[in-house]
Amino acid sequence: MSEQKKVIFSGMQPSGVITLGNYLGALKNWTNLQEEYNCLYCIVDMHAITVRQDPATLRKNARDLLMLYIAAGLDPEKNIIYMQSHVSAHAELAWILNCFTYMGELSRMTQFKDKSNKHSDNINVGLFAYPSLMAADILLYQTDLVPVGVDQKQHLELTRDIAIRFNNAYGETFRVPEPYISKVGAKIMSLQEPTKKMSKSDEDINATLSILDDPDTIVRKFKRAVTDSDAAVRYDELQKPGISNLMTIYSVITGMGMDQIEAEFEGKGYGDFKLKVAEAVTEELRPLQEKFKALSKDKAYIDTIIKKNAETANYLATKTLRKVQKKVGFPPVMR
């Protein structure tokens, strides 16, 4: 990694195929950062098992996610794209950070509260300690900036608190990360309940759009998208959340402003507009889907990427971990 560039770290859970929301809100923007920053994108399989996963599915999802990163345009030679579980320093630092994180802090995390409500039969310690593992992810690489959505802001705040606490106790050890607010990032809402964020864990398959959906499915889902009874294509988040969401999608893909879109569909019905959005999405995703298909056939290449990037990540993470181990007083390993 070049020393002068700032470090960006982010991660996604390999739980299910990623959605148009993940793509337009995060992944697509990440591809614009690869020249200016040293970027690490982690597939957080260790976070994923905080809720029950089928092993074969998890394995496949993790590999698919890595291929999707590349298919979306992240160059695996420029970005460190890797599996969290391949770098044991994440678990080791997480343990140490657990000892610098308070029960009270973790109890206040809204994601923990939400997930314990949803999975009340399995409120495990990992789910509770999820944020200190996330802190370890970020702090291991001396990260400057973390692109995250609003739902992860609280976890990032806690990461900063833990880093500052540790630095105060032992002297400068971790860089204290800042959130990276993208200039163009978009928040994509559910197609069925447009006041809720599009989420890959939504049980209603019509509410989300997978970036691997085929053109027919894309058209069908947009046709069914919830709108309102007023027939004007007009941006109004409060009164017309459904149409506004479709306009956001169309705007992010075409680069058109809301007033341009309103002008294009002046006097036209929702049916026309929905078809145009579906078409734009299909065209946007086509190259990504083709690349994904090609990568799926090239097992040896993907294996090499996984291995090489894990080695780089391991090298960088170990540097920080050794420093931390020394500071807390672990006896040096004899070599």
List residues binding ligand TRP (CB under 6 A).
9-13, 44, 47, 134, 137-138, 146, 148, 152
Closest residue to ligand TRP in the complex (CB)? 11
Q: How far apart are CA 141 and CA 89, in angstroms?
A: 11
For ligand TRP, which is the closer residue by CB, 92 or 228? Answer: 92
Please, what is the minimum distance in Å from the beta carbon of residue 10 to ligand TRP? 4
- Beta-bridged to residue 79, according to DSSP, are 39
For ligand TRP, which is the closer residue by CB, 39 or 233? Answer: 39
220 and 29 in contact (C-beta within 8 Å)?
Answer: no
Is residue 291 flagged as an active site residue?
no
Please, what is the minimum distance in Å from the beta carbon of residue 155 to ligand TRP? 6
For ligand TRP, which is the closer residue by CB, 130 or 166? Answer: 130
Q: Which structure tokens are listed for 283?
A: 């065209």
Residues 6+ apart with CB under 8 A from 40: 7, 8, 9, 10, 79, 80, 81, 82, 141, 143, 313
| Residues 62, 67, 21, 193, CA torsion sign | negative
For ligand TRP, which is the closer residue by CB, 44 or 158? Answer: 44
Q: Which residue is catalytic, options 115, 221, 274, 276?
A: 115
Q: Which residue is catalytic, options 6, 200, 291, 308?
A: 200
For ligand TRP, which is the closer residue by CB, 154 or 325? Answer: 154
Q: How far apart are CA 175 and CA 80, in angstroms?
A: 19
Is residue 28 flagged as an active site residue?
no
Please, what is the minimum distance in Å from the beta carbon of residue 24 to ligand TRP? 15
Is residue 113 flagged as an active site residue?
no
**What phi-psi label fits residue 285: left (phi over 0), alpha (psi between -120 and 50 degrees) or beta?**
alpha
Please, what is the minimum distance in Å from the beta carbon of residue 84 to ligand TRP? 8
Neighbouring C-beta atoms of residue 277, cutoff 10 Å: 22
Q: Which structure tokens are listed for 34?
A: 């690869």
Please, what is the minimum distance in Å from the beta carbon of residue 5 to ligand TRP? 18
Q: Which residue is catalytic, options 6, 187, 197, 291?
A: 197
Catalytic (active-site) positions: 115, 197, 200
